[in-house]
């Protein structure tokens, strides 16, 4: 079966058009407005607010130009798609490489095997589970609710930000290997845009974390403009329906997301991408001959590849040119009403905290324990949850909503 997409004959860097969902944030805006009136307003900056954009003396560049983006139009399910539905991968352990029946059965019973076996975990799977495990369980078993107007507005804003530096094009793909090739092409071209222009957006990542393949798409990466700092800054933009900065649970969720991205980035650039594990986990043929259209585009872009293995080699070589991400990460908050900046939060990477959070979430995904509920102090999240009426935490002994 053939999948179609398109490519432009031009050869500038290529970045994918993929959307990082704001669902876990925007679903609770209304609840925040009703229960946390002490949140600071847009006109009253919080203590961690920063200028809306770097000054001329900033150590990070923001001069990226518009470039072309490669994507594909899917007619059937592939092992690669957007982060919202995930360019996901499969854990190598899903292929029966466990020693011991008991441990293998535990994985077979988990949501990872049931719902992400061929796609792996997106970083937004991790953050959504951090937000509420029971809500994620309902999403998996009953289906994702339709996007709210706030979510649609958030996606539209991200599209606008992408279009400032990206131009969407499509490419025709004929197999899963072609689809993965598109992703690697996007990373390679996006990395070159970062190195030469100082800014790139919507950069796809993939990595192996605690025995599980994870993927993500970074909103924005800025390259330092000074010689004293050479580590790129990872940036995530959140849009809000309320003209106020978020409560701590939302900020925590955003920090977790960016720290996950840094983990994937640092693993990739330190030559920790294992090609053989990747091919085996996805059941991909490294010697697969890429479609003529993809071969033509890779050649015109400066990294001619005939097989998927060729392209993965270019990907790994590109990673070797990149430094680890800066330990300082940046969260930006914008008001959906006028795209104005509500505030910025700079914070430091905390690998110990990050791994403890990931391990907790993987316990749920691997079926090692049942889904947990939000703590009592965060029950305000339930006010806008689409599954609140059927959630056991909100029902009485006779089955009625509390």
* Bigger pLDDT: 158 vs 359: 359
Total domains in the chain come to 1
- For residue 183, tell me if it sits in a domain: yes
- For residue 285, tell me if it sits in a domain: yes
3-state secondary structure of 222: strand
Work out the pLDDT band at 165, boundaries 50, 70, 90. confident
Q: Is the pLDDT of residue 2 over 50?
A: no
361 and 129 Cβ atoms separated by less than 8 Å = yes
- Count the helices and strands in the chain (H runs, E runs): 13, 8
Q: What is the mean pLDDT of residues 72-95?
A: 34
For residues 280 and 208, give the distance between their C-alpha atoms in angstroms, rounded to a whole number.
13
pLDDT of residue 135: 95
Neighbours of 71 (CB within 10 A): 21
230 and 248 Cβ atoms separated by less than 8 Å = no
- For residue 168, tell me if it sits in a domain: yes
Range of the domain at 230: 109-386
How many residues are there in the chain?
402
For residues 117 and 92, give the distance between their C-alpha atoms in angstroms, rounded to a whole number.
10
What does the block give as tokens for 158? 């991200």
Q: What is the pLDDT of residues 197-249, one digit of tens each?
A: 999 999 999 999 999 999 999 999 999 887 777 899 999 999 999 999 999 99
- For residue 32, tell me if it sits in a domain: no
Q: What is the pLDDT of residues 189-198, one digit of tens each?
A: 899 999 999 9
247 CB-near residues (< 8 Å, 6+ apart): 32, 36, 39
At which residue do the structure tokens 């709210």 appear?
Answer: 148
- For residue 337, tell me if it sits in a domain: yes
Q: What is the mean pLDDT of residues 87-114?
A: 49
What does the block give as tokens for 314? 């270019």
Mean confidence (pLDDT) of the chain: 76
- For residue 256, tell me if it sits in a domain: yes
pLDDT of residue 167: 75
Work out the pLDDT band at 326, boundaries 50, 70, 90. very high
What does the block give as tokens for 226? 């000074």
pLDDT of residue 67: 55
At which residue do the structure tokens 């607010």 appear?
Answer: 49
What is this structure's pTM?
0.74
pLDDT of residue 247: 93
- For residue 30, tell me if it sits in a domain: no
Work out the pLDDT band at 68, boundaries 50, 70, 90. low
């Amino acid at each position: 079966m053939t999948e179609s997409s398109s490519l432009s004959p031009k050869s500038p860097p290529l970045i994918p058009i993929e959307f990082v969902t704001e669902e876990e944030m925007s679903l609770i805006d209304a609840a925040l407005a009703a229960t946390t009136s002490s949140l600071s307003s847009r006109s009253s900056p919080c203590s961690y607010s920063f200028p809306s954009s770097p000054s001329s003396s900033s150590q990070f560049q923001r001069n990226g130009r518009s470039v072309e983006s490669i994507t594909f139009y899917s007619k059937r399910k592939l092992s690669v798609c957007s982060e919202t539905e995930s360019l996901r991968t499969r854990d190598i352990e899903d292929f029966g490489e466990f020693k011991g029946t008991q441990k293998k059965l535990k994985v077979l019973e988990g949501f990872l095997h049931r719902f992400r076996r061929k796609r792996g975990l997106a970083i937004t799977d991790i953050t959504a589970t951090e937000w509420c495990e029971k809500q994620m369980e309902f999403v998996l078993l009953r289906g994702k609710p339709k996007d709210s107007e706030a979510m649609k507005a958030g996606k539209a804003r991200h599209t606008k930000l992408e279009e400032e530096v990206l131009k969407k094009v499509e490419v025709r793909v004929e197999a899963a290997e072609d689809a993965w090739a598109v992703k690697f092409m996007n990373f390679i071209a996006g990395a070159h845009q970062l190195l030469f222009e100082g800014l790139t957006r919507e950069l796809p990542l993939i990595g192996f974390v605690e025995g599980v393949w994870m993927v993500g798409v970074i909103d924005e990466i800025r390259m330092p403009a000074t010689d004293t700092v050479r580590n790129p800054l990872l940036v995530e933009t959140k849009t809000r329906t309320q003209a106020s900065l978020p409560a701590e649970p939302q900020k925590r969720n955003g920090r977790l997301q960016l720290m996950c991205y840094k983990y994937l980035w640092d693993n990739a650039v330190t030559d920790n991408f294992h090609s053989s594990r990747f091919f085996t986990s996805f059941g991909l043929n490294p010697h697969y001959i890429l479609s003529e259209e993809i071969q033509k585009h890779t050649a015109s872009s400066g990294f001619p590849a005939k097989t998927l293995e060729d392209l993965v080699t270019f990907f790994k070589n590109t990673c070797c040119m990149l430094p680890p991400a800066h330990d300082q990460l940046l969260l930006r908050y914008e008001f959906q009403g006028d795209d104005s900046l509500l505030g910025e939060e700079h914070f430091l990477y905390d690998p110990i905290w990050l791994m403890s959070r990931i391990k907790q979430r993987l316990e749920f995904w691997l079926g090692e324990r049942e889904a947990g509920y939000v703590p009592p102090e965060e029950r305000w999240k339930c006010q806008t949850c689409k599954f609140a009426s059927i959630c056991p935490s909100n029902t009485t002994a006779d089955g009625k909503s509390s």
